[in-house]
Amino acid sequence: MVYLSVGLLGLSPAALTPPPVDAPPTNFTLLYGYLLGLFPVNLLHTVAHLVIGVWGIVAWRGMVSPKVYARALAVFCGVLAAIGLIPGMGTLFGILPIHGHVVWLYGGTAAVAACFWPSSLDVERRAKPDRREQVLPVPTERRNGIVERPDRRQLPGI
């Protein structure tokens, strides 16, 4: 929901402030600015946020695997955070602004999504047979306390 909200907010020019003078230049400047004055975004960046948000809702609804979503999000955001830390790669070849606070946002998202990597869904749960199904019915005589005891004289070897 957060990424979907951020994506929708990124489409509003009123939520964008002009980039500072020292910001790395980008070649794709459509809706380029700082979202809420903190996060550098442009239209492609906003579309990526919308896709992540919609995919998250689809995974939450169970239409795709939530485990796959969490793992893909951890890898994708982890790679973006690592790229943002490399000097000179702050705009991903002039297309996507990945610098400043966005790097830490993606790093945090990757860390949270990675928490779901070894999920309990990985553990194969084997159905144990119910013990009550394995028990054979007790004969009525034994249940009522009438037990046939063999005569000692009839036992072999006595």
For residue 108, the model assigns a pLDDT of 94
Distance (Å) of CA 39 to CA 10, 36, 48, 91: 10, 7, 14, 13
Report the b/e string of 134-149 with b at 16+ CB within 10 A: eeeeeeeeeeeeeeee
Q: Which of 21-30, 65-74, 118-127, 143-152 comes out lowest in average pLDDT?
A: 118-127
Name every residue whose Cβ is closer than 8 Å to that of residue 86 and which is 6 or more positions away in sequence.
none
The average pLDDT across 133-149 equals 64
pLDDT digit string, tens, across residues 85-129: 988 887 878 788 888 888 999 999 999 999 887 755 555 555 566
Nearest Cα to 49, choosing from 98, 89, 116? 98
Report how far apart the first and last C-alpha atoms of the chain are (Å, whole number): 82
State which H helix or E strand residue 80 sits in: helix 66-85
